[in-house]
Amino acid sequence: MQPNNFYNSLLTGLALIFLMSACNKKDSSTPRNRGNNSPTGSVNDSIFFIAKDIYLWNDVLPDSATFKPNQYPNPIQMFDALTTYKKDASGNNLDRYSFIDNGGTSRALQQGIAGDIGFEVGYQTDTTLFVVYVYPGSPADKAGIKRGWELINVNGVTRFRVNDGTTDNMLNTAFGSESATWGFRKPDNSTQQNTLARTDYKLNPILYSHLYDFSGNKIGYFVFNNFVALADVKAQIDSIFDAYTKAGVKQVIIDLRYNGGGLIETAEYLANILVPAAKTNTTMYSQFFNNNVTTNNFGPYFKYMKAVPYYPSVNWSDIFYSEATTYKTARFQKSGALALNKVTFLGTRNTVSASELLYNVLKPVMTTKLVGSNTYGKPVGFINISFGKYDMYAVNFQTKNAANEGDYFSGLPADIRADDDFSLDWGSLSDPMLRAALTDMGVAAGSLGRMARSNGNRIAVTPANRLESTKFKGMIQTIRK
């Protein structure tokens, strides 16, 4: 379950297929991954009783007789109903995070495979759409499409309007179809038309990197869009930061403005590159589970469930108990020789979970800044569990940094406010967010050139209504045996 309508905007497109398409599928009558001594029952029963064991806020869940798991036609609807019981101080649903899908999230983040056309668009004004980002190696990238291009037609439709149902449906259909035709206007005012077909490609979350040199003030700039599995991106990360180290970089800008999170192992790896060497073996973050998990007190549904497909001979209950005790606290282990004076993060409402974790764990141990706008607000994470064709992402744990900070459910506040601008490509010195970060790092505004003329009607807001309900937002703990 993901939230809708955070902004009066539509940012639509599909860069990653994290679609909840399993909503329309029939669930199997019995769950898999069950040990010989566990009870039988429906998938709804299994998910309900396991949630009662491992859900972070299990204390607010009703009992089975009251909730009646099998009154719901499928596990998706049943689980969505479960997530409505935890409320914030205002009486609103606190759990904007937990969901069930059909394996698309795991496929993209943990296997590194996306299956789409590979770009995203957002409203710059009420009636103009621009390309927000393009994934390297995707169909859009192979067609030469760039951030900052204006979208001028889709399958012959040339007029767009934010929050208009007809426009929303047209865009959703085009991005979700096997093939669609797109027209663009480039910054030089030339146009380009492409028919793009969705396909599988290896997901590369590094959208841009650059090393700036302003009269000897060397600053690294790195745009990172998803925390995919470390094995899929480690070599590229190492290459970029090795170059920064050799150049004597002392300040780095990490651009996470559209990063919805992903695997914690990759966030930890980046944190260990950025952290000062003197902080080795100090606390990076701690995880907090519910009382059932920390005391190894599980019901039979979960106690005998095997950790398929990760460790088929190990029970899930053992993995959770180990995470809550043996692996509760992660510690910094400095990697590489990069010695920074400061690291600045660029963030927006689209900066979520593992992205927020990276910034939050570094705040107490080095000089940091957050430039842009307040982040999404997700200090909780998942250990995802499979039920046949369903993957359950129930909030299992909360994280807190070395200063015990971790209750940012309303988002992390920006230190320096700056607007996003979709009409500018990555690395443009007119980009308000990048420019604010550079000037805060001591770069004279005069050396950055003139700012682009602002459009008074510009809204440049994200995320989209449709994207907001389909794109993964969270952090997943890598299972350790």
List pLDDT tens digits, range 68-107. 999 999 999 999 999 999 999 999 999 999 999 877 777 6
Question: Cα-Cα-Cα-Cα dihedral of 444, 445, 449, 452, to 10°?
Answer: 160
Is residue 445 assigned to a domain? yes
- Please tell me the predicted confidence (pLDDT) of residue 20: 26
Is residue 420 assigned to a domain? yes
Is residue 324 assigned to a domain? yes
Is residue 151 assigned to a domain? no
Q: Structural domain of residue 437, as residue ranges?
A: 206-289+318-376+404-455+470-475
Res. 455 pLDDT band, cuts 50 70 90: low
- Please tell me the predicted confidence (pLDDT) of residue 41: 60
User: Which of 188-192, 299-303, 454-458 shows the lowest per-residue confidence on average (mean pLDDT)?
Assistant: 454-458
List pLDDT tens digits, range 58-73. 999 999 999 999 999 9
Is residue 296 assigned to a domain? no
Mean pLDDT of 364-375: 97
Mean pLDDT of 381-401: 91
- Please tell me the predicted confidence (pLDDT) of residue 259: 93
Mean pLDDT of 349-363: 96
Buried b (16+ CB within 10 A) or exposed e, 189-199: eeeeebebebe
Is residue 85 assigned to a domain? no
Mean pLDDT of the chain: 86
CA–chain centroid gap for 351, Å, is 7
Res. 457 pLDDT band, cuts 50 70 90: low
- Please tell me the predicted confidence (pLDDT) of residue 12: 28
CA dihedral over 31, 36, 41, 45, signed as positive or negative: negative
- Please tell me the predicted confidence (pLDDT) of residue 472: 61
Q: How many domains does the chain have?
A: 1
Q: CA geometry: angle at 392 spanning 387 and 397, to 5°?
A: 135
- Please tell me the predicted confidence (pLDDT) of residue 481: 59
Is residue 224 assigned to a domain? yes
Alpha helix ranges (H) inside 284-404: 291-294, 300-303, 316-324, 354-362
List pLDDT tens digits, range 170-229. 998 999 899 999 999 999 999 999 999 999 999 999 999 999 999 999 999 999 999 999
Res. 471 pLDDT band, cuts 50 70 90: low
Q: What is the pTM of this model?
A: 0.88
User: Which of 24-33, 161-170, 214-223, 426-435 shows the lowest per-residue confidence on average (mean pLDDT)?
Assistant: 24-33
Res. 466 pLDDT band, cuts 50 70 90: very low
List pLDDT tens digits, range 283-295. 999 999 999 999 9
User: Which of 48-57, 362-371, 389-398 shows the lowest per-residue confidence on average (mean pLDDT)?
Assistant: 389-398
Q: What percent of the chain has pLDDT over 90?
A: 72
Distance CA 95, CA 342 (A): 34
53 vs 467, higher pLDDT: 53
- Please tell me the predicted confidence (pLDDT) of residue 16: 27
Q: What is the CATH number of the domain that holds 420?
A: 3.90.226.10
Is residue 242 assigned to a domain? yes
- Please tell me the predicted confidence (pLDDT) of residue 453: 58
